[in-house]
Amino acid sequence: MWDLRGKKDHPISPQPDERFTLRIDLQEGFARDAVAIKLNGKPAFSKKQVSTQLLLGKADSFTTAIAPGPLRIDLEVKTRKLQETIALQAEGNMYIGVSIVGDRLIYSVADKPYGYM
């Protein structure tokens, strides 16, 4: 799996009150699953019956604003007892795609939104 962690060539020094967009897309492999996501230990997303729409390869998503700096994302698919933690440095807008492949949660990070068709 490929991701963009720490890949920014020219990190921009954030202003003190600057906020970035974090969007997490739940993509492939979900089938009536209960999903919970925490950001820096605080519940940010919780939904039951999350299913991937085969037409688009996407199940659900949520967007929030985050402050620059370290970011810890805890992903949990309760229905399958799957967990994953992502540790990132927020230096700009971030788009994270999460999929279930077999018995694993995998993710990718990009600096522009994923598109679907």
Check binding of 2 to other proteins (CB under 8 A): yes
Site for other proteins contains 92 (CB under 8 A): no
Between 43 and 82, how does the x/- string for binding to other proteins read (CB under 8 A)?
Answer: --------x-xxxxxx--x---------------------
Q: Which helix (H) or strand (E) holds 39?
A: strand 33-39
| Residue 60, number of CB atoms within 10 A of its CB | 19
At its nearest, how many Å lie between other proteins and the CB of residue 43?
23
**β partners of residue 53:** 58
Cα–Cα distance between 18 and 27 in angstroms, integer? 29
Give the shortest CB-53-to-other proteins separation in angstroms.
3
Question: Across the beta sheet with 20-26, what order do the strands follow?
Answer: 60-66, 20-26, 94-101, 104-110
List contacts with other proteins (CB under 8 A). 1-2, 25, 28, 51, 53-58, 61, 97, 108, 110, 113-117
